[in-house]
Amino acid sequence: MRLQIRAARRRRCRLILWIKRGGLAFAGLVAAYLIAAVLGGLIARTDPLTASGDTRDIVLVNGPIHYDILIPIDIARRDMGWLAAHGVALDNPDVHWLLVGWGARDFYTTTGTYADVSARAIWRGLTGDSAVMRISVAGAVGSEWRHVGLDPAQMARLTAAISGSFAQGAATRPLDHPGFSEFDRFFPATGRFHLFNTCNVWVGQMMRDAGLQFGFWTPTPYAVSLSYWRFHGG
């Protein structure tokens, strides 16, 4: 009987030891990911294009886990006018900006609040999910948001890069899915979402594609914020 008790105690001790080791390993991986995100946000991968002529602002807007890009509505009408055919309110006189974002389909198309997001959506977002574009519109925004000035060539490169993120480009049809508001539309997107290719990584890629200096890997909102602070005087 005593031998059985001792054996059971040894098994419990081994189990506790493995749990502790597993917890430490997981904490180490999380710490490594976050440190890499900080470095990725602070270190630029490419040299920027030299701005020439007048500049127009785009705006980087963030929530708790996600960044979107706001494009001036007149530029959106010029370069992405095909969206109007899918109910995007480009011609609404109260609209000043086109909002664009990229993200995981299951997670991004969850209607409501973050509390509505399912465990399945979180798991697929970590391990791999198909991507969608979220398109919406916005009215006037204040100076408290992160503004970045682009010259005409940079703006054209940005809208071209964003248009290239739609699966099949202008031929893409929106998903039959409600958005976070009546103005939202979701479209199939290129690429695949996972832990190392997040919505915030996409934002950084769009900035670099536009010819702007930006961090080489920005998987978290904090990494995007650091890049803005580091390279655009934020």
Question: Which strands form 185-193's sheet, in the order they lie side by side?
Answer: 146-150, 56-62, 67-72, 97-104, 129-138, 185-193
Distance CA 20, CA 4 (A): 24
Mean pLDDT value across the chain: 85
- Segment among 28-32, 77-81, 119-123 with least mean pLDDT: 119-123
Domain holding 220, by residue range, is: 43-232
Residue 163 counted as domain residue: yes
120 in any annotated domain: yes
Looking at residues 86-91, what average pLDDT do you find? Answer: 92
Please give the tally of structural domains in the chain: 1
pLDDT band at 48 (very low <50, low <70, confident <90, very high): confident
| Chain centre distance of CA 33 | 16
Instruction: Evaluate whether residue 2 is within a structural domain.
Output: no
